[in-house]
Every structure is written in C-alpha cells, then in structure tokens.
Structure 1
Amino acid sequence: MVRDCAGDAIGALSMPIPLPQSIADVEALAYCRAVQFAAEIGLTRVVFEGDSLVIINATTNDSGVLATYGAVVEDIRELALGFQLVDFKHVSRSCNAVADALAKKASTTVELQVWLEDMPSDIVPLVRRDVL
C-alpha cells in the first residue's frame, strides 16, 4: 500500500509468494517487493512500515545476515540506496490491516496485481479506516 504525505492512497500491489520457508522469509520478500514497487512508481522520499520487527531490525541494524532471509534483506538495503530519503518503521499488526488484506488477496491469485489510485472495492474501507 502506497500513500502520499496526506495519507491518501496512490497505489497498491498484491502478489503471491511461492513456497516460503518461514514467516520471516515471507515478510522479507514482501518488504523487498514494496521497496521495488516504490522505486518503480518513481517515489524518492519514502517511509516503509511493516509489522515484522525481525525484518525491520534486520533491515535497519545489519542483523539477520546469516538468516534464511539475509540475502533478501541485503537486496532491500541495496534498493533503498536509490531513494533520496528512506526510513523503515515498525507498526503494530492492527495498523497494518491494508497490507494484511492485500496479502490475503494474493493467496487467491497466481499473478501480480497492481492498482494505481483506484483501490479494490474490498480494500477501500480498510484504507479509509487507517487514515481516520
């Protein structure tokens, strides 16, 4: 889910992740794809929020290099160098309802889905609730 500085939705992405080894692996892959998506749509100043403290810490503190997701975290760090401003923040799962819904949507498809400006009708109420 991509929002502008006012909190308005400007884009979202949902895609399946095949056969991950662990929850942390899934979180790292999702985070990496979010960073790629932000770059693809031309963002230069970004804040990435996620509810996996393990992955946030690995991304910001150079930890987790030897973990199964270590190479993905290295990819995230490398991609992040392309932004003028980048920050990674941990948020509670309750503040991440849109991302959770997009992940569930990904489990019902075999292809990448991207929305720019217009969000799926089942996601819109969650987007609005997050801003309030």
Structure 2
Amino acid sequence: MVKVNFNGAIFSTQSSASLGMVVRDQAGLVLATLSQKIPMPTSVETVEVIAARRALEFAKELGFERIMVEGDFEIIIKTIREKTLLSSVLGHILEDIHVLSGSFSSISFHHIKRMGNCVAHRLARRSFCNPLLVWMEEVPPDIVDVYNHDLSFMHE
C-alpha cells in the first residue's frame, strides 16, 4: 500500500495553475514526487479535481496497485467518495477518477488537514517555472525541510 498526497495551486497573476503530488511507502519514505503546470481552470475546485485525477494517473504510471489517496480539499474528497456531482461541470473529470479507480486492486480517498499535506502543497507551488518535473525516491532540494518536518510527525 502506498499513500499518494495531491494538491493544486492557482497563480492568477500568470493565468496558470499547478499540481503537486508525493507518493510514499508505509514508513513515509518518498517513492516519487511530481510538480506540473497546467492551463488556468475555471475554479479552485476544478484544479483540485484535476490534481486528484493526475494523482491516480501518476500512481498507475508508476505501477502501484494498492493506494490511499489524500487531499486537503474536503468537499472534493467527499464528492469523489460519494460519487456525487457527476452531472456538474466537473462531472467528466470525476467520471475519469472513478474509471481510473477501477484499475487499482485497492483504493481509498481521505481528507487530511493542510498541515498534513505540506509536501504536496509545496510541490504544487513550485511548478510555476517548469511544465513538468518528476523525482524518483526523493523530493526537490528546496522541499527537503518540509518533508523532514512532515516525516518527524509521522514517527512521533
């Protein structure tokens, strides 16, 4: 089982948005991270739903079968779990999430507080300069302090 944390960020002054995600093993060690710039969507909710979908795609690309997905936007996590709003503006993205979910042998979605999602948040905030960056078994050097802080809470 791996844990995939995701987050989205909007840069309104640059008319763009970004996604950040981190995949960790059960001990909290990083297996992969991603930071990706995307065109500006219509809302914060859309960015978060796109980030959730990209987190599933990333986990699938890496070959993971059993995942726990965590995000800090409670309404989006609830919508994904309850399979609601499929007829909304976000419906096609939510449907993609449900289809992708079927490709995992085990999947669950959980809401966490922003403090528990700091690494994914920082990854999302750093992508305004680069369209797509992926790191395997590490975090970018400018995020190591956030990761170490986060890891210390996991082992208390």
Give the TM-score range, shorter chain. Answer: over 0.9
TM-score where L is the length of structure 2: 0.80
CA distance in 2, matches of 1:4, 1:39: 15
Q: Given the alignment of the two structures, is residue 119 of structure 1 paired with residue 117 of structure 2, yes or no?
A: no
- Describe the superposition over 1:79-129 as per-residue Cα deviations: whole angstroms up to 9, x where unpaired: 0111111010000111111111111111222x2111111221011111121
**Residue aligned with 1:122, SS:** helix
- Describe the superposition over 1:22-71 as per-residue Cα deviations: whole angstroms up to 9, x where unpaired: 00000000111010000000111100000011211111101121332221
Gaps of 5+ in 1: none
Contact 2:119 2:146 in 1 (8 A): yes
Contact 2:33 2:138 in 1 (8 A): no
2:95 alignment partner, one of 71, 74, 87? 74
CA distance in 1, matches of 2:55, 2:136: 14
Which structure would you say has the larger RCO, counting Cα contacts within 8 Å and 6 or more residues apart?
1
**What is the aligned residue count?**
131
- Using the aligned pairs only, state the percent identity: 37
Instruction: List structure 1 segments (4+ residues) > 3 angstroms apart after TM superposition.
Output: none
Gaps of 5+ in 2: 1-21
Cα offset for 1:75? Answer: 0.5
TM-score where L is the length of structure 1: 0.94
Q: Given the alignment of the two structures, is residue 84 of structure 1 paired with residue 105 of structure 2, yes or no?
A: yes
Query: What's the RMSD between the two structures over aligned residues?
Result: 1.0
